[in-house]
Amino acid sequence: MNEPRRRGRPVELDLERVAHVALDMFRDQGYDAVTMEDIARVVGHSRRTIFRHFPAKASLVWAGTDGFADSLKAELARTDPSLPAMDAVRTAYVAATRIPPELHEVTRQRLLLIGDNHTLHSDGVARFADVGAAIRRTFIDRDGLDPDGLDAAIVGDTLVLVAHQAFIWWARHGEGEPGPVLEAAFDRVAEGFRRR
């Protein structure tokens, strides 16, 4: 993956490596203490190059969640269209967040950072707005929820937050796959959102 540096040819930025290095630095020195400059120095690229790919420090931690709304939509499309919205979302969310075992550790590390830092958590709210919107849409389409009603205003972002908290809990206390934790968390709030 890391080709030797050749003169006159710009060295490609290994995004995964940069994110890994940043994560280690955040864990060892604290998220707030590490600057983009520090990271650039350690990975041997200019601050500008890093910024081109990671527009903010938070992006280094949230890396890997880009495109999650699309994955969730794809998984939703794969579910039986007659399933009520709550069941479809539960099934699709678990499928879309499946992590290969070799990535459990790095995912856990990311989640621990987010769980311990309000700024990082806040940053996720805007990042996951599309995910909340996709869930809301599923309830409107499948269960006939009134788009202007109170339920439609609550369901999307609430389920996103519940899933987020399930993942943070898994990072802190869970063993094995996060899927069962996610299902248990959804089940806490599911009753009120089931088709009536």
As measured in angstroms, the least distance from the Cβ of 162 to its own copies is 6
- Taking CB under 8 A as the rule, does residue 87 contact its own copies? no
User: Judged by CB, which is closer to its own copies: 14, or 151?
Assistant: 151
- Taking CB under 8 A as the rule, does residue 162 contact its own copies? yes
As measured in angstroms, the least distance from the Cβ of 154 to its own copies is 5
- Taking CB under 8 A as the rule, does residue 1 contact its own copies? no
22: nearest Cα among 142, 152, 120? 120
User: Judged by CB, which is closer to its own copies: 37, or 146?
Assistant: 146
- Taking CB under 8 A as the rule, does residue 193 contact its own copies? yes
User: Judged by CB, which is closer to its own copies: 136, or 142?
Assistant: 136
C-beta contacts of 50-59 below 8 A and 24+ residues apart = 50/13, 50/18, 53/13, 53/15, 53/18, 54/18, 54/19, 56/123, 57/22, 57/31, 58/119, 58/120, 58/123
Q: Which of 37, 116, 141, 187 binds its own copies (CB under 8 A)?
A: 187
- Taking CB under 8 A as the rule, does residue 188 contact its own copies? yes
Segment 110 to 129, residues that bind its own copies, using CB under 8 A? 118-119, 121-123, 125-126, 129
- Taking CB under 8 A as the rule, does residue 161 contact its own copies? yes
193: nearest Cα among 139, 128, 129? 139
Stretch that binds its own copies, among 28-36, 48-56, 97-105, 146-154 (CB under 8 A): 146-154
- Taking CB under 8 A as the rule, does residue 165 contact its own copies? yes
Report the interface residues with its own copies, using CB under 8 A: 118-119, 121-123, 125-126, 129, 148, 150-151, 153-154, 157-158, 161-162, 165-166, 168-169, 172-173, 181, 184-185, 187-193
